[in-house]
Amino acid sequence: MSRYWSDLQPGETFATGQLTLDREAILDFAAEFDPQPYHLDNAAAEDSIFGGLCASGWQVTALMMRLLTDTLHQQGVPVMGIDSVPSLRWKAPVFVDDTLQGKVTIRGGENNSRQAGCGRTHMDITVHNQDGRPVIELNAVLLVAHGEHSDAA
Amino acid sequence: MQRKPYIRSRWWEDIPVGEFHVFGSHTFSELEIIEFGERYAPEIYHTDPVAARDTLHRGLVASGWHLTATWMRLMVDYMERFARGVRDGRRNGAGMGLEDLEWFVPVRPGHTITFTYEITEKPERVVRDRWGIIRSRNEAYNQYNELVMRFNIDILAERNPGVEDGGALAE
């Protein structure tokens, strides 16, 4: 059963699935998108502000989106992308073999968006590691299809 | 003749508000969009060019996070060109956070995106005793000169240990 834009209620909360980031995944992303020493090299990373080899902050944001959309799909929500991120903080590094999970609270939304057939849904999202420590905190505005567009999902 | 200092080898104190750079351009291929989609955003409008036609996007579009990741790559490459010989990982500042990240129009296969960077502010705040904050406004334009993405980001730059800070707030 699908849950469209108007079915998402302010105050609703849910947890996403979990995802573990291994060394190879961190190095792969860094080599392609963020080739800085602390994402590629153990020795340089230990000497850096992070204190160890860690994932690019942009890999963490991409994985946040993956966790979020996978979970929304399981709920039957036709996510059509992301509209905006009013604010985001990187709170702690993500190290090799850390396990990430998101906690989401729906804050409300607007009936319309730049994308025809979609409304906007505002969410507060925290992604934390296996120790419960937040690694990113953000407000995000997602594009969610209206019910009349059954071809959306 | 005095040589110009390399961009990434400058201290926080020496980086001026108003500085503007064009990091460069990148053309997003269909294959790249699909590869990124399969790993990080497995929606059919990021991974299946045919099925994508029947979605509200009416065709394949790049993930918004593919754009931010590409921004990062072009920034790193750009800074490398001005930082030859600098291999001191300690000088690389981390990103602290961002504000007002917005995506305006879709990026489709074959679109060429140009990324610009302007330093807008240097908040007077010291992070962990040695870092200052550089705030920049970042924009991405497509080949039609449409704004496709914009955000402000705070990135750390190392403060000159030889300069007494003038009453800045320590974190």
All domains of chain B in start order, with CATH: 17-159 (3.10.129.10)
Helix spans in chain B (H)? 30-40, 44-47, 64-81
Residue type, A121: T
Cβ(B114)–Cβ(B140) below 8 Å: yes
| Per-residue confidence (pLDDT) for residue B27, from 0 to 100 | 98
CA of B89 to nearest chain A CA: how many angstroms apart? 6
Numbered residues of chain B with Cβ closer than 8 Å to any chain A Cβ: 40-43, 45, 54-57, 61, 63-66, 68-70, 72-73, 76, 87, 89-90, 92-105, 128, 131, 151, 156
- The percent of residues above 90 in pLDDT, for chain B, comes to 67
Taking the C-alpha atoms of residue A17 and residue A127, their distance in angstroms, rounded to an integer, is: 11
Query: Nearest-CA distance from B105 to chain A in Å?
Result: 8
In chain B the beta strands, taken as DSSP E runs, fall at: 20-27, 95-103, 112-121, 125-126, 131-141, 147-158, 169-170
Q: Which positions 61-80 of A are in contact with B (Cβ < 8 Å)?
A: 61-63, 65-66, 69, 79-80
What does the pLDDT read at residue A153?
A: 43
The kind and range of the H/E element at A39 are: helix A37-40
Residue A58 phi/psi, 5-degree rounding, is -80, -25
Higher pLDDT, A22 or B162: A22
Asked if A126 has any chain B CB less than 8 Å from its own CB, the reply is no
Q: Are strands B125-126 and A98-110 parallel, antiparallel or unpaired?
A: unpaired
Burial B71-99 (b: 16+ CB within 10 A, else e): bbbbbbebbeeebeeeeebebbbbbbbbb
User: CA–CA separation, B6 vs B164, rounded Å?
Assistant: 23
Distance CA A84, CA B69 (A): 15
The pLDDT-based confidence of B9 (bands split at 50, 70, 90) is low
10-residue mean pLDDT series, chain A (153 residues): 91 97 96 90 82 94 96 94 97 97 96 92 98 98 82 45
The tokens of A75 are what? 């709920």
pLDDT in the model for residue A38: 84
Q: Which residue ranges form the domains of chain A, and what is each CATH number?
A: 5-145 (3.10.129.10)
Query: B70 vs A56: CB contact, 8 Å cut-off?
Result: no
Residue B101: closest C-alpha in chain A: A85
Out of B55, B61, B90, closest to residue A47 by CB: B90
